[in-house]
Amino acid sequence: MTATDFQVVIFDSVSSALLAEKILKKLDIPFKIIPVPRHISSDCGVCIRFSARERERIEGSLAGRVGIQTILPL
Amino acid sequence: MKKEIDARGLACPQPVILTRKALQDNDEIVVVVDNVTARENVKRMAQSQGCEVVIEGDGKDIRIHMTRGSSCQAPQPATSPEGPLVIAIGSDRMGSGEDKLGSLLMRSFIHTVVEASQRPDTMIFFNTGVRLTVAGSEVIEDLRELSGSGVNILVCGTCLGYFEIKDQLAAGTVSNMYDIAEAMLSAGRLVQL
């Protein structure tokens, strides 16, 4: 897989990231917790990386429930 | 004329994202921000891209000038001392105090080790750290990748036995205190978590 296949969800806080993790795990959607890439920010914590094809499911399951700042291609 | 980006009033990480985009198409830009955190983030990102950075102004009107120069290279990683780089992981969490946070940090750390330009020669797992190396662990793919690329992964056999998970080992090799102590004592650099 190439890097362009991935996107990241940037959260408004670490607790939002933890909450999102709980939700996605329950739904069995594959993802990975990674540090927010340095080129995006040098001190904004962790984010969730996922395969671009999961974007709709991810957005659908997190929207309105978790504080999301933005979703970006990696 | 320099391209100017007004990033005032934008939340982190937006100023950095806008700057990075602008640097892709321009060799010389000015970014205006209204807080010190944004200033530092933009500055670090630009420097990591090999840009020369000049800052003027303060308070709510900070102007960051960036020039991409061939003479300005990205900082080189520090040279490593003689001997292998060893990472010793004695817990399935990074730091102590808050377990959920510690687990999150550990996953984030191991991911970063996989992505790092300098991978360790040896990684040692002991005490609850061995839980990271068994089936079902959140970092098992990362550890397999490290192992596959030549990182020697030693897993404390006593610890696997204590937790009764020896049969679930999914990355690395079962090791003993002789090998573990020797790897630590002969390390050029020992990073202990």
CATH topology (fold) of B85-192: Hypothetical Protein Ychn; Chain: A, (3.40.1260)
When CB atoms are compared, the residue of B44, B107, B111 closest to A42 is: B44
For the domain bounded by B3-68, which CATH number is listed? Answer: 3.30.110.40
Q: How much of chain A, in percent, has pLDDT values that exceed 90?
A: 68
A62 pLDDT more than 90: yes
Residue B79 binned pLDDT confidence (cut-offs 50, 70, 90): low
Taking CA–CA distances from A35, the nearest residue in chain B reads: B108
Residue B41 binned pLDDT confidence (cut-offs 50, 70, 90): confident
DSSP state, B79?
P
What are the residue ranges spanned by the domains of chain B? 3-68, 85-192
How, if at all, do strands B28-33 and A46-51 pair?
Answer: unpaired
B73 pLDDT more than 80: no
The total number of residues shown for chain A amounts to: 74
Q: Which residues of A touch B16 (CB under 8 A)?
A: 39-42
Q: Give the number of beta-carbon pairs within 8 Å between A and B.
A: 56
Q: What is the pLDDT of residue B21?
A: 85
Find the mean pLDDT for residues A19-41.
90
Domains and their CATH numbers in chain A: 3-73 (3.30.70.260)
A48 pLDDT more than 70: yes
DSSP string spanning B101-131?
HHHHHHHHHHHHHHH-SS--SEEEE-GGGGG
A33 and B17 within 8 Å at the Cβ level: the answer is no
Residue B69 binned pLDDT confidence (cut-offs 50, 70, 90): confident
Three-state DSSP at B155 gives strand
Find the mean pLDDT for residues B103-111.
94
Backbone phi and psi for residue A44, each to the nearest 5 degrees, phi listed first: -105, 25
Q: How much of chain B, in percent, has pLDDT values that exceed 70?
A: 94
Q: What is the pLDDT of residue A3?
A: 47
Find the mean pLDDT for residues B107-114.
94
Chain B contacts to A (CB-CB under 8 A):
11-14, 16-17, 20, 37, 40-41, 44-45, 48, 100-101, 104-105, 107-108, 111-112, 138
Q: Which ipTM did the prediction report?
A: 0.74
A57/chain B closest Cα distance in angstroms: 21
- Within 10 angstroms of residue B125's Cβ, the number of other Cβ atoms is 30
How, if at all, do strands A32-35 and A46-51 pair?
Answer: antiparallel
Residue B81 binned pLDDT confidence (cut-offs 50, 70, 90): low
| A61 contacts B67 by C-beta, under 8 angstroms | no
B50 pLDDT more than 90: no
Q: Which residues of A touch B104 (CB under 8 A)?
A: 14, 17-18, 21, 33, 46
Q: How much is the mean pLDDT over chain B?
A: 90
State how far the Cα of B193 lies from the Cα of B188, in Å rounded to an integer.
16
